[in-house]
Amino acid sequence: MKYPVHEHGKFSVISLTGEVDLNCSPQAREQILKCLKKNNHLLIDLSAVEYIDSSGVASLVEGFQTARGQQLQFALLGVSKAALQVLQLARLDKVFPIYASIDDVDL
């Protein structure tokens, strides 16, 4: 699965969709790291995510830490309730910058 990417101001926006699980998370990880390799600030849109498992969250964690190392901005958009509960389980909701929508991001 290849997730859609578009540009918005200084950010690249990757929209994850459907079920981000063991089958799909390697692709999500690859796309996240690829964008960061290009030194792009990154927003991950989770509004269309129906389910995200630990491997999907791990991809977000790795992306966030990589972005921090490169002093790039990294944030999550439109986190669904299902995804938020998974983040909360490991207290990651307190770690990731989270915005309700792209309109709330300081471009």
Question: Using CB under 8 A as the criterion, which residues of the chain lie in contact with other proteins when the complex forms?
Answer: 21-22, 25-26, 29, 53-55, 57-59, 61-62, 85-86, 88-92
Which alpha helices (H) appear in the chain, and where do they start and end?
A: 25-37, 54-69, 81-89
Q: Which is nearer to other proteins, 87 or 105 (CB)?
A: 87
Q: Which is nearer to other proteins, 25 or 31 (CB)?
A: 25
Provide the minimum distance between the beta carbon of 102 and other proteins in the complex, in angstroms, as a whole number: 26
Minimum Å gap between C-beta 76 and other proteins is 16
Nearer to other proteins, 28 or 105 (CB): 28
- Integer Cα distance of 15 and 90 in angstroms: 23
CB 63 within 8 A of CB 26: no
CB-based contact 61:33 (threshold 8 Å): no
- Bridge partners of 48, per DSSP, are 17
CB of 54 to other proteins, least distance (A): 5
- CA of 103: how far to CAs of 6, 87, 107, in Å? 15, 22, 9
CB of 84 to other proteins, least distance (A): 9
Q: Which is nearer to other proteins, 8 or 29 (CB)?
A: 29
